[in-house]
Amino acid sequence: MLATAPVVTLADLLPRTRVRTAALVVAGAALTALCAQVVVPVPGTPVPVTLQTFAVLLTGAALGARRGVAAQGLYVAVGALGLPVYADGAGGWSATVGATGGYLVGFVLAAAVVGTLAEHRRDRRVHTAVPAMLAGSVIIYACGVGWLSVHLGVSLARAVELGLTPFLLGDALKLVVAGLALPAAWHLAHRES
């Protein structure tokens, strides 16, 4: 008898194969790259508003920790190699370690944390999914603002002004939408089964 893997994340609702896993990782990286192209420049800061964080939170929760980290790691790697996947079609090593490099590292770490929380069923109810997404956002900002401070040679307070404060409202909206989307997807999945 063929043993089936337990359903832990949304991705586990699909039959588990190496090809499927690879396709999901590539799709997660592609979603992040696509969302990076939705760019709204913010005057006075090198950090634009994008939908990347939304993609990171969704892929982390939907794929789980290992696949989410792989998807975000792939995204960062192909960008570092020069493919134009970062915000505004940027790519290459200088873009990877530039002003927004800390956010890229934060994407990988956030996918791990949000994925782990999803594996512990924190993505199935709004009252637990929103805090899981908030945890991911905090990680992204901690890495991003910290690196921005070092990269620009400014105080941490100034880095917060440049790399956090202008984005709070938009990212609050993104994390709430992600926190609503995952429980809704689980609800739909259970109705179909």
> Class for domain 15-192, per CATH?
mainly alpha
Q: Which of 101, 93, 115, 107 is nearest to 31 (CA)?
A: 107
**Residue 88: both structure tokens together:** 């505004």
- Which residues is 49 bridged to in the sheet? 40
Question: Residue 153, exposed/middle/buried by CB under 10 A (0-12, 13-18, 19+)?
Answer: exposed
User: Domain-by-domain residue ranges, the chain?
Assistant: 15-192
| pTM attached to this predicted model | 0.93
Question: Per-residue pLDDT for the chain (193 aa), expressed as one digit of tens each?
Answer: 444 567 789 999 988 899 999 999 999 999 999 999 999 998 988 888 999 999 999 999 999 999 999 999 999 999 999 999 999 899 999 999 999 999 999 999 999 999 999 999 999 999 999 999 999 999 999 999 999 999 999 999 999 999 999 999 999 999 899 999 999 999 998 765 4
Instruction: Kindly report the backbone phi and psi dihedral angles of residue 37, in degrees, each rounded to the nearest multiple of 5, phi listed first.
Output: -85, -10
